[in-house]
Amino acid sequence: MPLFTPSTEFLDSWRPLGHGSGFCELSRLFFGKLTERYLNYFLERAASVTCPSLEHREQFQDGIRSHVDAVSKQAFETAKITQSFAAGWFNGHARDRVPTEREIEGFLSVAFGKMRDELRREEQAT
């Protein structure tokens, strides 16, 4: 399906997300995957800095891959904080109309703030 070309089929594929529960599930999946990729990116950067040889780096990356399920689960659980917020936001801003760019920016700002706060709480708990 084309991502940016409007068509009836395209709109039909997004129609199930046109309510609060669909949007909050999409938000949780999006922020979970974003967090997972963010964490993996920084783990790989740390490997580049701390591993003295290519062989050692490859071993480190194999270790990361063996823990990818744990990172994915952690990211998905962290993103749960956005789920209830997204449903409420959708019902208040997008249920009957397309939200403005400013409203969308506000949603993202609050959602990213919630994710940041949750990651900080988790860091302090460990």
Q: Please state whether the predicted TM-score (pTM) of the whole model is above 0.75.
A: no
**Residue 15, pLDDT score:** 63
One digit per residue, the tens of pLDDT, for the chain of length 126 reads 444 555 566 556 556 666 777 888 888 888 888 888 888 788 778 777 787 788 887 887 787 777 777 777 878 888 888 887 888 898 888 888 888 889 999 999 999 998 889 888 877 887
Rounded Cα gap, residues 12 and 116, in angstroms: 34
Contact 85, 106 (CB under 8 A): no
How much is the pLDDT for 107? 93
- pLDDT for residue 46: 77
d(CA 64, CA 102): 38
What's the pLDDT at 16? 64
Among 94, 82, 107, which Cα is nearest to 27's?
A: 82
Q: What pLDDT sits at residue 103?
A: 92
Dump the DSSP string for 68-103: HHHHHHHHHHHHHHHHHHHHHHHHHHTSSSPPPHHH
